[in-house]
Structure 1
């Protein structure tokens, strides 16, 4: 659930919802959820009526599309109140720092990634755990997907995977590599071309005393990349492979 603050909060990390001080307000109509999602994605920026209509009906709008949209806005305004503004030929959801769970998630993700870069894995894990706890299911799960919705949902899901990967990296740096290995096995199977996940699995295996398995992960990745893309692994993974082959003592250094 989103933190309490002035005005309603919009949840995008799962089924779309509006959270007010007294609880969750349902938005049962699919078209209303589309309009709400568009405005929340563009929080703090006006969206033209034409753009909303295109997303709603994708070139098959009804004869009285603008009037229908005005009816949707009227109903949403009963939930969002003064935070739903009319701007010229369009509408705007008033932007606030915590106006959507997605905005809060992205802030926490950035803080976690920054903590990893500055060698503070405990802080990174705290921020990333908080970020991932905001998710209630697939992004925009119950919103009929037009181009804008689909692109934003895909972007959020990619950010979610980045957060999971960063949290696993923090765990490896904290010496918890044994617990990460089963999760990384699943993720590399689901994302066979994602080199960063394979590199993390290689490091976790190596730090668990499983050098041969770590080298096998590299061999599998290399074979897949050559078969699927005609490419060798990138420089970072090749360098990690070289250091594992050499049993570089520096690889054992977890914080």
Structure 2
């Protein structure tokens, strides 16, 4: 996906996205971070065609997003929003996953196998007949992800998908993301997030500020840079904070890239 000089304003003179250009490679996992009002969620809505840009281009799989290509491009993209209650449409888990398949006019005789496959994928196969009132926030989000993956998108957008769920639910979603990456190497994931621990799972982090992409790099490059964190008010992931404290205490931890490596180093 390529975005060129994209701009969008909710009101005159107030640009939510301002001349933004970026490229997302197929099969990559990109996290877009920034404080509230930086333009992250607006960008997600522009990509899926829920908003129309004032100027610029969005190109998906070589095709420019415009009125005549909108339906075809939407078939390549799925999005999971932040509120698990607002996007649970079916009366049961099974019905909710089926909803998108029905919209795509998938033959009814094919649906049960597809539903079971993706419910199993997110470890919700035992809840197919359950109503949403019996599910936690994390479980509802996993159902939303199952419904999105059942459509076999090329690009999955997670728009603050962990913002309204508890710590246990967040861990469930993080594990699901790891699972998706392992089993779907060609799936492109774009995560709009405040969760720095989630961003640490990605290949690349893009920081947005006032509608612009102000810096980009690997998670360690971005979050280990104190100047960037302070300038854009980003929280340090636990791994980065731990490494900084250990380094201040005289330990050589620069080349350690995950918690397991740090633990092994300290236990030597």
- Identify whether the pair has TM-score above 0.5, normalized to the shorter chain: no
- TM score, norm. by length of structure 2: 0.25
- TM score, norm. by length of structure 1: 0.26
- Give 1 or 2: higher helix fraction: 1
Tell me: higher relative CO, structure 1 or 2? Use CA pairs within 8 A at least 6 residues apart. Answer: 2
- Give 1 or 2: higher strand fraction: 2
